[in-house]
Structure 1
Amino acid sequence: MTDTDVAPAVPAGTLKASSSTRRRAWTVTALLVVFMMINFADKSVLGLAAEEIRKDLGLSASAFGVASSAFFLLFSISGAAVGLLADRIRPKWLLLAMAVLWSVSQAPLAVGGGLAVLITSRVLLGAAEGPAFPVAQQATLSWFPNHRRNLPGAVIVLGITLGVLVAAPVLTWVIQNHGWRSAVAAVALVGVAWVLLWIPLGGEGPYAAESDATASAGSGEGRREGAAAGVGADTGSAPRRTPYRRILATRTWIGATAAYFGTYWVIAFALVWLPSYLQDSLGYSSAGSTQVVMLVWGLGGVAVLGQAGLTGWLLRRGAPSRWARGGVGGVLLLIGAAACLALPVAPTGAVTAVLLVAGFGLAGAMSSVAVTTVTELAPADRRGGALGIMNAVVTTAGLIAPTLIGRLVDIHGTEGYRYAVLITGAVLLLSGAAALTLIDPDRDARRLSA
């Protein structure tokens, strides 16, 4: 079966996945989990090799922070641009192009070069990886109706966690035994291997070009999604093309984006500075810091899957998305905020470790919540753009956080990490409040369809 065979036009109310389609759906989902694993292994290399890179290239904390933030220079712009293209070009080919480009962009750095090559490589890598998450989610969720999307959406987010969990010990070993440039080469080669699998196996599902009203006609779920898509579920009328500006002006899109911003702030901190924070400020060894990093991302994976299960259960019980998605995600962000705000004044030892793991780990669940919320809100022909623009706004956190933290460390020494954690707690507090007070897809879907 080719990817052109899996999205036939079907009459309203008859779309029902066959066993072969379900197998294909989870095959594509598994490939995209690996895609996200590679994506975040690429991102994590600099953080894992921070001390080696700074020593090898003679970089200050501020210079290293700038080099790390360079990754996000074009990340947000490309995320928005390619997100808009994803409503016109098949995600299969966009994902293929991204994987090829991010492998190619790392080749010069793997071979040699100094700070200029490092920054150039990271800028190009960021441009290639910027659209990865929203387009991967769009491709994955095209295989599932709205009420079945929590698990596959969460599994794609889990790929982020798995990428770091696998990358942390493996790349640390490569860095210590073969040098940090070998680690860069390794992740680039893995990206090439993924491309060779995606070409024959990748594709979009039967929900790619249809409204959820068509896919689930006759059910309450379908009628609500029909309103979101601007489609008459009962009349079969042609969908209206809702302007992007109307979607972006909804409180739900704004709330999901603000909440997800907090999550990405934590991700940027963890990827670039968490190993150095653990070693320089909290006194962990290299091996010990790797273990704590793995605990952080491990809890993140548990939180993502737990959120997906709880959200799915609440939706099946008839709870509105305002509470099933916005409420669950917002509470997790607020717990993370409390842990981060308590961390700088906690006694060193087990308490510090628990607070750090909780503060950084629980915030990751909002990634899945934000994507499924916007997917529920946006019409089918506007989802790629709505997700891509959200991702573009959110990932500016990756441009700000590493540079800011590096500057704080240069000015205040190890005390700078304390200020960075307090700032992170404040960001999570505001993000959690946004999720709880602004997200309401049912309300805003009705307004878009009016």
Structure 2
Amino acid sequence: MTDTDVAPAVPAGLPKAPGRTSPRAWTVTALLVVFMMINFADKSVLGLAADEIRHDLGLSASAFGLASSAFFLLFSVSGAAVGLLADRIRPKWLILAMAVLWSVSQAPMVVGGGLAVLITSRVLLGAAEGPAFPVAQQATLSWFPDHRRNLPGALIALGITLGVLVAAPVLTWVIRHHGWRSAVAAVALAGVVWALLWLLMGGEGPYAAPPAGSDGRSGAPAGAQPSAGTVPYRRILATRTWIGATAGYFGTYWVIAVALVWLPSYLQDALGYTSAGSTRLVMLVWGLGGVVVLGQAGLTGRLLQRGASSRWARGGVGGVLLLIGAAACLALPAAPAGAMTAMLLVAGFGFAGAMSSVAVTTVTELVPADRRGGSLGIMNAVVTTAGLMAPTLTGHLVDTHGAEGYRYAVLITGVVLLLSGAAALTLIDPARDARRLSS
């Protein structure tokens, strides 16, 4: 699945996009896929070790939900702040700093401590990881013109899926044989190794914005998109496309947060799966999510090649996928136990994941290069508030209603996806809003 060439959007007076993508572009993309894998392995540790952590630290479901949501306390704020910085500071150095801070923030949990240490460590980890996805996308997409961004953008989103797919069996084994603190140590070490590789091979491509203060000629690589810095952020954030992309992505992130923190417990405590059986279903959920992300990239590229507008090729495809996930989640609580429940669970959580890459490529198409980091960072800040709300709400429902609380959580997830999908379908239209921004 590759993005086939449609009419390249190369501004007049600038060199045409190169006929072939450079090998380094794919090297940087591969590194950033691994970056996102480590990012979500960090996030998934608590969900995979939920029962062990609750038993070890004597936590109720509400307390554990609070600790999980603490990860998102500064996640959104740092995502917006660092996103704005990414329009002024080279993303290479921001990404390096994030990777180092991930590992440092997890050290207290490796050494020991109780609930206070767990919460503090997760708050710091969340602050370090908040900007990861938008800045990684910004760095990746700086290597590709707009008509070739669907696949690399989807690959970065695929790193989310791959991170959980790799983490689920590997970290489950580590937790079972060496304890949950050893699993935390393993992902922290992976972050250190990755940071060394990025220092040697990372960087931005020819479609990055010129450095702040540049005249648009000196310091700007050949082929970079020209600055349109006169467009204020408030106008970008008021566009229907930005709002629709953000709303759609919010639904995706709600599903991600619930799946990371509560899916293993839901499968074991409410549906009666064994630890091994729940791990297999978790991998199926994330595996389908990866297939859907890549399928969306291929379908979007084909639609764009045939002349479809981004309104339908991106907003339409992403919105429909969210609605499929919504239908499955809303049907799940009433389904008979067994294979039907498993199928609806996998579909409900798996189809909802593609909007992350759709939202990023949509906003990147809409905004000028020197507003890309801030626009993506603020979008990520709004979206990831779902990570603050969903785990806490689910924990409260489980404490209040027992296993029945999971059913209510799934129904709420279905409603969130329904609203998000409707917003993506009705609001996203980058061409329309780009014209309004340029007027």
- TM (norm. structure 2) is 0.93
Instruction: Report deviation, 1:349.
Output: 0.4
Map of 2:289 onto structure 1: 300
CA distance in 1, matches of 2:12, 2:359: 30
SS of residue paired to 1:273? helix
- Report if aligned partners of 1:92, 1:139 keep a CA contact under 8 Å in 2: yes
CA distance in 2, matches of 1:315, 1:77: 34
1:355 aligned residue (337, 344, 364): 344
Map of 1:243 onto structure 2: 232
Map of 1:6 onto structure 2: none
Map of 2:47 onto structure 1: 47
Is 1:291 aligned to 2:284, yes or no? Answer: no
Map of 1:17 onto structure 2: 18
Map of 1:57 onto structure 2: 57
- Report if aligned partners of 1:150, 1:311 keep a CA contact under 8 Å in 2: yes
Map of 2:216 onto structure 1: none
- Count of aligned residue pairs for this structure pair: 418
- Segments of structure 1 that go 5 or more residues without pairing to the other structure are 1-9, 211-225, 232-237
1:442 aligned residue (420, 431, 436): 431
SS of residue paired to 1:106? helix
Map of 2:175 onto structure 1: 175
Is 1:407 aligned to 2:396, yes or no? Answer: yes
Which structure 2 residues correspond to residues 62-211 of structure 1 after superposition, within 5 A? 62-209=62-209
Is 1:38 aligned to 2:38, yes or no? Answer: yes
CA deviation digits over 1:76-101, x for unaligned, max 9?
A: 00000000000000000000000000
Map of 1:258 onto structure 2: 247
Instruction: Report deviation, 1:240.
Output: 4.5
CA distance in 1, matches of 2:429, 2:37: 31
2:311 alignment partner AA:
R
2:13 alignment partner AA:
A
CA distance in 2, matches of 1:12, 1:316: 24
- Report if aligned partners of 2:228, 2:369 keep a CA contact under 8 Å in 1: no
Is 1:371 aligned to 2:360, yes or no? Answer: yes
Compared CA separation, residues 328 and 409, structure 1 to 2 (3 A): same
CA deviation digits over 1:107-130, x for unaligned, max 9?
A: 110110000000000000000000
Instruction: Report deviation, 1:11.
Output: 8.8
CA deviation digits over 1:122-176, x for unaligned, max 9?
A: 0000000000000000000000000000000000000000000000000000000
Instruction: Report deviation, 1:339.
Output: 0.1
- TM (norm. structure 1) is 0.91
CA deviation digits over 1:10-40, x for unaligned, max 9?
A: 9934244386x61000000000000000000
Is 1:313 aligned to 2:302, yes or no? Answer: yes
CA distance in 2, matches of 1:357, 1:351: 10
The percent of aligned pairs where both chains have the same amino acid is 85
1:314 alignment partner AA:
L
2:123 alignment partner AA:
V
Instruction: Report deviation, 1:209.
Output: 1.7
CA distance in 1, matches of 2:207, 2:356: 21
- Report if aligned partners of 1:40, 1:160 keep a CA contact under 8 Å in 2: yes
Map of 2:215 onto structure 1: none
CA distance in 1, matches of 2:228, 2:34: 34
- Report if aligned partners of 2:36, 2:159 keep a CA contact under 8 Å in 1: yes
SS of residue paired to 1:208? coil
CA distance in 1, matches of 2:429, 2:39: 31
- Segments of structure 2 that go 5 or more residues without pairing to the other structure are 1-10, 211-223
CA distance in 1, matches of 2:333, 2:230: 50
CA distance in 1, matches of 2:171, 2:256: 18
- Report if aligned partners of 2:102, 2:188 keep a CA contact under 8 Å in 1: yes
CA distance in 2, matches of 1:258, 1:440: 14
Instruction: Report deviation, 1:371.
Output: 0.3
CA distance in 2, matches of 1:93, 1:75: 19
| CA RMSD, 1 decimal | 1.6
CA distance in 2, matches of 1:108, 1:11: 54
Map of 1:383 onto structure 2: 372
CA distance in 2, matches of 1:206, 1:353: 45
Extract structure 1 runs of 4+ deviating beyond 6 A: none
